[in-house]
Amino acid sequence: MAVYFELEICVGASEAGADAILAHMREGLGSLLIPTLTRKRSEEDWRDEAGDDAPDAWWIGLVPRGMGYGVPADLGHFIESDDERREVVTALYDRLRSAPPFLAAFCGFEVGEAITERDAPDEIVFLDGVWFNEVGLGTSGTVLPEAWAAKLLSPAEREGLAPFRAGQLWRPPTDDLIRLGPAP
């Protein structure tokens, strides 16, 4: 079984925007990423819940080398050093700061599945054309629009958020996110 460490970027309804972000991230981080696992996808399976006229949200998934367990495209390469892992995560966010416009970003193990999980309907929200699980909004490494933070997070949950870039806030990655633990 593979366990992926990933950065998931929510672009919104623009497929062209998703293409531009994917190209931007690959251009600056190409050798850092596993090419076969760096992709864009649409959340078509949520269309029925939003209504037939709701646009699909485009997501970019970036899987860095050496940051997952049992990843077939990355076997034999696991970064053991916290400092090296911190460098990888820092590089991801540094590149993201200069990316074309996007709505939100989430980082961690299997974060793509967690943020789009639909098993708990009371945790699902629909904002700016995107369905997502709001549980992930307060986690380390999250980047979100200021409007989402104001609407979805309590004042206590907004503590620790810092400016990421114009109109966006983030919860900077903590050592818990970076310290992945030894390979199983």
Tell how far CA 108 is from the center of its chain: 8
Asked if the structure places residue 148 within a domain, the reply is no
Closest CA to 118 of 29, 50, 60: 50
CATH number, domain of 131, equals 3.30.70
Task: Tell whether 157 is covered by a domain.
Answer: no
Question: Is 28 within a domain?
Answer: yes
Is residue 72 one of the residues assigned to a domain?
yes
Q: For the chain (length 184 residues), average pLDDT per consecutive 10?
A: 80 88 90 74 52 64 80 68 88 96 88 66 73 74 92 89 95 78 48
- In a domain, residue 143? The reply is no
162 assigned to some structural domain: no
Strand partners, 7: 62, 107
Range of 75's domain?
5-138
> Tell me, what's the pLDDT at 72?
58
Flag whether 32 is in a domain: yes
Residue position matching structure tokens 């958020």 = 161
Q: How many domains does the structure of the chain reveal?
A: 1
Instruction: Supply the pTM of this predicted model.
Output: 0.85
Tokens coding 98: 């200069």
On whether residue 129 sits in a domain, the answer given is: yes
